[in-house]
Structure 1
Protein backbone atom coordinates (compact mmCIF):
# COMPACT_ATOMS: atom_id res chain seq x y z
CA UNK A 1 0.00 0.00 0.00
CA UNK A 2 1.45 3.37 -1.07
CA UNK A 3 0.74 6.04 1.54
CA UNK A 4 -0.03 9.47 -0.01
CA UNK A 5 2.00 11.23 2.71
CA UNK A 6 5.02 9.25 1.42
CA UNK A 7 4.32 9.42 -2.34
CA UNK A 8 3.42 13.15 -2.23
CA UNK A 9 4.63 14.65 1.07
CA UNK A 10 4.42 18.20 -0.30
CA UNK A 11 0.68 17.80 -0.92
CA UNK A 12 -0.60 15.56 1.92
CA UNK A 13 -0.08 15.91 5.66
CA UNK A 14 -1.48 14.09 8.68
CA UNK A 15 -3.46 16.49 10.90
CA UNK A 16 -4.92 13.90 13.32
CA UNK A 17 -4.55 10.20 13.96
CA UNK A 18 -5.72 7.66 16.52
CA UNK A 19 -6.37 3.91 16.50
CA UNK A 20 -9.62 4.27 14.46
CA UNK A 21 -9.08 7.12 11.95
CA UNK A 22 -6.41 9.19 10.25
CA UNK A 23 -7.20 12.67 8.97
CA UNK A 24 -5.19 13.97 6.02
CA UNK A 25 -5.12 17.51 4.68
CA UNK A 26 -4.50 17.83 0.94
CA UNK A 27 -3.56 21.09 -0.80
CA UNK A 28 -2.36 21.71 -4.34
CA UNK A 29 -2.14 24.35 -7.03
CA UNK A 30 -3.41 24.26 -10.63
CA UNK A 31 -1.39 21.78 -12.69
CA UNK A 32 -0.24 19.73 -9.69
CA UNK A 33 -0.26 15.94 -10.04
CA UNK A 34 -0.04 13.12 -7.52
CA UNK A 35 1.74 9.81 -7.86
CA UNK A 36 -0.33 6.61 -7.64
CA UNK A 37 -1.30 6.04 -4.00
CA UNK A 38 -3.86 4.21 -1.87
CA UNK A 39 -6.70 5.34 0.38
CA UNK A 40 -8.75 3.07 2.64
CA UNK A 41 -12.49 3.74 2.95
CA UNK A 42 -12.69 7.49 3.61
CA UNK A 43 -14.86 10.57 3.84
CA UNK A 44 -13.60 13.49 1.73
CA UNK A 45 -14.54 17.02 2.79
CA UNK A 46 -14.00 19.73 0.16
CA UNK A 47 -12.94 23.11 1.52
CA UNK A 48 -12.47 24.62 -1.95
CA UNK A 49 -14.12 24.12 -5.31
CA UNK A 50 -11.88 22.27 -7.76
CA UNK A 51 -11.60 20.43 -11.05
CA UNK A 52 -9.38 17.39 -11.49
CA UNK A 53 -8.75 14.21 -13.42
CA UNK A 54 -8.59 11.06 -11.30
CA UNK A 55 -6.94 7.96 -12.78
CA UNK A 56 -7.30 4.36 -11.64
CA UNK A 57 -5.25 2.10 -13.87
CA UNK A 58 -6.56 2.58 -17.41
CA UNK A 59 -9.74 4.33 -16.27
CA UNK A 60 -10.02 8.13 -15.90
CA UNK A 61 -12.76 10.41 -14.61
CA UNK A 62 -13.05 14.20 -14.86
CA UNK A 63 -14.43 15.66 -11.62
CA UNK A 64 -15.67 19.10 -10.66
CA UNK A 65 -16.64 19.49 -7.01
CA UNK A 66 -17.94 22.50 -5.08
CA UNK A 67 -16.63 23.63 -1.70
CA UNK A 68 -18.45 22.44 1.39
CA UNK A 69 -19.20 18.86 0.27
CA UNK A 70 -18.72 15.65 2.24
CA UNK A 71 -18.36 12.58 0.01
CA UNK A 72 -17.80 8.88 0.65
CA UNK A 73 -14.79 7.30 -1.08
CA UNK A 74 -14.52 3.53 -1.17
CA UNK A 75 -11.01 2.14 -0.73
CA UNK A 76 -9.03 2.77 -3.88
CA UNK A 77 -5.67 3.30 -5.56
CA UNK A 78 -5.51 6.34 -7.82
CA UNK A 79 -3.55 9.37 -8.97
CA UNK A 80 -4.88 12.86 -9.59
CA UNK A 81 -4.20 15.95 -11.66
CA UNK A 82 -5.54 19.44 -10.86
CA UNK A 83 -6.90 20.43 -14.28
CA UNK A 84 -8.66 23.54 -13.03
CA UNK A 85 -7.55 27.12 -12.48
CA UNK A 86 -7.87 27.14 -8.67
CA UNK A 87 -6.08 25.43 -5.78
CA UNK A 88 -7.52 22.29 -4.20
CA UNK A 89 -8.03 22.08 -0.42
CA UNK A 90 -9.65 18.98 1.09
CA UNK A 91 -9.60 16.77 4.18
CA UNK A 92 -9.75 12.96 4.05
CA UNK A 93 -10.99 11.09 7.11
CA UNK A 94 -9.54 7.64 6.53
CA UNK A 95 -11.09 4.70 8.37
CA UNK A 96 -8.71 2.18 9.88
CA UNK A 97 -11.35 -0.50 10.48
CA UNK A 98 -12.28 -2.73 7.54
CA UNK A 99 -15.83 -2.61 6.17
CA UNK A 100 -18.20 -5.16 7.69
CA UNK A 101 -20.02 -5.89 4.39
CA UNK A 102 -17.70 -5.04 1.54
CA UNK A 103 -19.09 -5.66 -1.94
CA UNK A 104 -15.59 -5.64 -3.38
CA UNK A 105 -16.57 -2.88 -5.82
CA UNK A 106 -14.02 -0.12 -6.40
CA UNK A 107 -15.38 3.31 -7.25
CA UNK A 108 -13.19 5.76 -9.13
CA UNK A 109 -13.12 9.13 -7.37
CA UNK A 110 -15.80 10.61 -5.15
CA UNK A 111 -19.23 9.08 -5.26
Structure 2
Protein backbone atom coordinates (compact mmCIF):
# COMPACT_ATOMS: atom_id res chain seq x y z
CA UNK A 1 0.00 0.00 0.00
CA UNK A 2 1.29 3.51 -0.88
CA UNK A 3 1.96 6.13 1.83
CA UNK A 4 -0.55 8.48 0.18
CA UNK A 5 -3.19 5.74 -0.11
CA UNK A 6 -6.45 6.98 1.46
CA UNK A 7 -6.64 3.78 3.55
CA UNK A 8 -3.32 4.85 5.12
CA UNK A 9 -3.87 8.63 5.32
CA UNK A 10 -7.47 8.50 6.58
CA UNK A 11 -8.40 5.00 7.78
CA UNK A 12 -11.19 6.47 9.90
CA UNK A 13 -12.94 7.80 6.76
CA UNK A 14 -12.14 5.20 4.05
CA UNK A 15 -13.03 1.49 4.21
CA UNK A 16 -12.01 -1.21 1.76
CA UNK A 17 -15.15 -3.09 0.69
CA UNK A 18 -13.88 -5.08 -2.31
CA UNK A 19 -10.65 -5.71 -4.20
CA UNK A 20 -9.45 -7.94 -7.02
CA UNK A 21 -6.74 -7.75 -9.70
CA UNK A 22 -8.63 -5.11 -11.73
CA UNK A 23 -10.45 -2.83 -9.26
CA UNK A 24 -10.51 -1.68 -5.67
CA UNK A 25 -13.73 -0.40 -4.11
CA UNK A 26 -13.65 2.02 -1.17
CA UNK A 27 -16.44 3.44 0.97
CA UNK A 28 -15.98 7.03 2.12
CA UNK A 29 -18.03 8.41 5.02
CA UNK A 30 -17.50 11.65 6.93
CA UNK A 31 -19.42 14.35 8.80
CA UNK A 32 -19.57 18.16 8.47
CA UNK A 33 -16.19 19.72 9.27
CA UNK A 34 -14.19 16.52 8.65
CA UNK A 35 -11.04 16.86 6.51
CA UNK A 36 -8.82 14.39 4.73
CA UNK A 37 -5.05 14.46 4.64
CA UNK A 38 -3.52 14.72 1.15
CA UNK A 39 -3.96 11.38 -0.62
CA UNK A 40 -4.19 10.03 -4.15
CA UNK A 41 -6.62 8.04 -6.24
CA UNK A 42 -5.97 6.32 -9.55
CA UNK A 43 -8.59 6.80 -12.30
CA UNK A 44 -11.88 6.08 -10.51
CA UNK A 45 -15.63 6.25 -10.66
CA UNK A 46 -17.28 7.88 -7.64
CA UNK A 47 -20.90 7.06 -6.78
CA UNK A 48 -22.60 9.45 -4.36
CA UNK A 49 -24.79 7.83 -1.72
CA UNK A 50 -25.72 11.13 -0.01
CA UNK A 51 -26.07 14.80 -0.97
CA UNK A 52 -22.89 16.66 0.01
CA UNK A 53 -20.80 19.80 -0.35
CA UNK A 54 -17.00 19.54 -0.25
CA UNK A 55 -13.93 21.63 -0.91
CA UNK A 56 -11.24 19.74 -2.85
CA UNK A 57 -7.69 21.13 -2.73
CA UNK A 58 -4.68 20.18 -4.84
CA UNK A 59 -1.63 22.39 -4.33
CA UNK A 60 -2.74 26.00 -4.79
CA UNK A 61 -5.94 25.03 -6.61
CA UNK A 62 -9.30 24.37 -5.00
CA UNK A 63 -12.82 23.65 -6.15
CA UNK A 64 -16.13 23.37 -4.32
CA UNK A 65 -18.23 20.34 -5.20
CA UNK A 66 -21.97 20.18 -4.47
CA UNK A 67 -23.46 16.85 -5.53
CA UNK A 68 -26.80 15.11 -4.97
CA UNK A 69 -27.12 11.45 -4.00
CA UNK A 70 -27.28 8.92 -6.79
CA UNK A 71 -24.69 10.46 -9.11
CA UNK A 72 -21.83 8.61 -10.83
CA UNK A 73 -18.82 10.83 -11.58
CA UNK A 74 -15.40 10.30 -13.13
CA UNK A 75 -12.39 11.12 -10.95
CA UNK A 76 -9.21 11.28 -13.04
CA UNK A 77 -6.04 10.09 -11.29
CA UNK A 78 -5.03 12.83 -8.85
CA UNK A 79 -3.68 13.78 -5.46
CA UNK A 80 -5.85 16.04 -3.34
CA UNK A 81 -7.26 16.76 0.12
CA UNK A 82 -10.93 17.32 0.90
CA UNK A 83 -13.09 19.03 3.50
CA UNK A 84 -16.79 18.58 4.21
CA UNK A 85 -18.03 22.20 4.12
CA UNK A 86 -21.71 21.29 4.05
CA UNK A 87 -24.34 20.46 6.64
CA UNK A 88 -24.67 16.76 5.85
CA UNK A 89 -22.33 13.80 5.83
CA UNK A 90 -20.43 12.78 2.71
CA UNK A 91 -21.12 9.15 1.81
CA UNK A 92 -19.73 7.80 -1.43
CA UNK A 93 -18.19 4.76 -3.09
CA UNK A 94 -14.96 4.92 -5.12
CA UNK A 95 -14.33 2.26 -7.75
CA UNK A 96 -10.60 2.60 -8.40
CA UNK A 97 -9.24 1.17 -11.64
CA UNK A 98 -5.99 -0.78 -11.43
CA UNK A 99 -5.43 -1.10 -15.17
CA UNK A 100 -3.25 1.58 -16.77
CA UNK A 101 -4.84 4.19 -18.98
CA UNK A 102 -4.75 3.14 -22.66
CA UNK A 103 -1.82 4.74 -24.54
CA UNK A 104 -4.12 6.59 -26.96
CA UNK A 105 -5.76 8.37 -23.98
CA UNK A 106 -2.62 9.70 -22.29
CA UNK A 107 -3.54 13.38 -22.62
CA UNK A 108 -2.90 14.92 -19.19
CA UNK A 109 -6.06 15.86 -17.32
CA UNK A 110 -5.74 19.07 -15.31
CA UNK A 111 -8.88 18.80 -13.20
CA UNK A 112 -9.38 18.15 -9.52
CA UNK A 113 -12.38 16.51 -7.96
CA UNK A 114 -15.11 14.66 -9.81
CA UNK A 115 -16.28 15.51 -13.32
CA UNK A 116 -19.32 14.48 -15.33
CA UNK A 117 -17.17 12.99 -18.11
Same fold (TM over 0.5): yes
Q: Secondary structure at the match of 1:5?
A: helix
What per-residue deviation string (whole Å, max 9, x for no partner) do you get for residues 40-66 of structure 1?
000000000000100011000011000
RMSD: 0.7
Partner of 1:80: 82
Partner of 2:109: 105
Q: Which runs of 5+ in 2 are unaligned?
A: none
Q: Which runs of 5+ in 1 are unaligned?
A: none
CA–CA separation in structure 2 for the residues paired with 1:53 and 1:33: 9
Cα contact 1:42–1:72 (8 A) shared by 2: yes
Query: Post-superposition shift, 1:18?
Result: 0.1
Q: Secondary structure at the match of 1:6?
A: helix
CA–CA separation in structure 2 for the residues paired with 1:106 and 1:39: 14
Partner of 1:16: 18
Runs of 4+ in 1 over 3 A off after TM superposition: none
Does residue 37 of the first structure (1) align with residue 39 of the second (2)?
Answer: yes
Partner of 2:49: 47
Query: Post-superposition shift, 1:90?
Result: 0.1
Cα contact 1:76–1:106 (8 A) shared by 2: no
CA–CA separation in structure 2 for the residues paired with 1:16 and 1:88: 20
Q: Secondary structure at the match of 2:33?
A: coil
